[in-house]
Amino acid sequence: MKMLKGKKGAIFGVANDKSIAWGIAQMLHEAGADLAFTYAGEILEKRVRPLAEKIGSKIILPCDVTKDEEIKQVFQNIRQEWGGLDFLVHAIAYANKEDLTNPYIETSREGFHLALDISSYSLVALSRHAAALMEGRQGAILTMTYMGSERVIPNYNVMGVAKAALEASVKYLAYDLGPKGTRVNAISAGPIRTLASSGISGFKEMLHFSSERAPLKRNIDQDEVGRTALYLLSDMASAVTGEVLHVDAGYNIMGM
């Protein structure tokens, strides 16, 4: 039985076939969902379009989440094509490279605004449009976070602050949208090799450290995040909202 047969969802944040968002998309596709994809710029389009077409996606659109008009246009196209939306996956984050290498105290005002806008506020902007298409459909919204929101992770810096704001937004959005039957949750995934993680100094050491100390004594992979996303976006999680679910081989529970 395909858990999401007949369901329609939008995926924001696929960068290539190593992206966590792509791992999620594959799992949702296998569960029967129809998917729409977005990309930011021509370079990413060349990576995203072939992947989306490979699984039969008919909606592949440009979207710079710092531009309200482009966000609006995506959801207008989805309304015209599908009439509504069942779920949204938000896997977008960005910070300037210097703000991930310099000490956090040296974060510029511009760099702070950019990281918070793209990595956190974009969830609010996308959710506002998505919620209008989810009315009467028991919709679900899912975003991606990381433990750097809860504890200091060297070299994660302003992104940790942005993820903390993102997780607070999950709770407030869950409260706002709950009366309409729309759920909002986050997955806090352990470290995985992706295009985004390549910008974090010392990431290889982070992988090793995590696998050594996690209770399961290993790192995680795309499929494990994808299966958790499938659960949170399906009716199996119909009473789950406002949660941050860790998928990190148990690393987050450790003290020493």
Positions marked catalytic = 146, 156
What is the Cβ-side half-sphere exposure of residue 6, based on CA atoms within 13 angstroms? 3
3-state SS string over 57-112? Answer: CCEEEECCCCCHHHHHHHHHHHHHHHCCCCEEEECCCCCCCHHHHCCHHHCCHHHH
Q: Strand, coil or helix: what is 24?
A: helix
Half-sphere exposure of 19 (CA within 13 A, CB side): 24
Asked if 203 and 233 touch (Cβ cutoff 8 Å), the reply is no
State the DSSP H helix or E strand holding residue 205, giving kind and residue range, or none if neither. helix 203-213
**Token pair 């009467």 in the structure block, residue:** 136
Q: Is 210 in contact with 5 (CB distance < 8 Å)?
A: no
Cβ contact 102:52 at 8 Å? no
Task: Give residues with Cβ within 8 angstroms of 176, minimum separation 6.
Answer: none
Contact 43, 69 (CB under 8 A): no
Helix (H) or strand (E) holding 184: strand 183-189
* Beta strands 34-39 and 8-12, pairing class: parallel
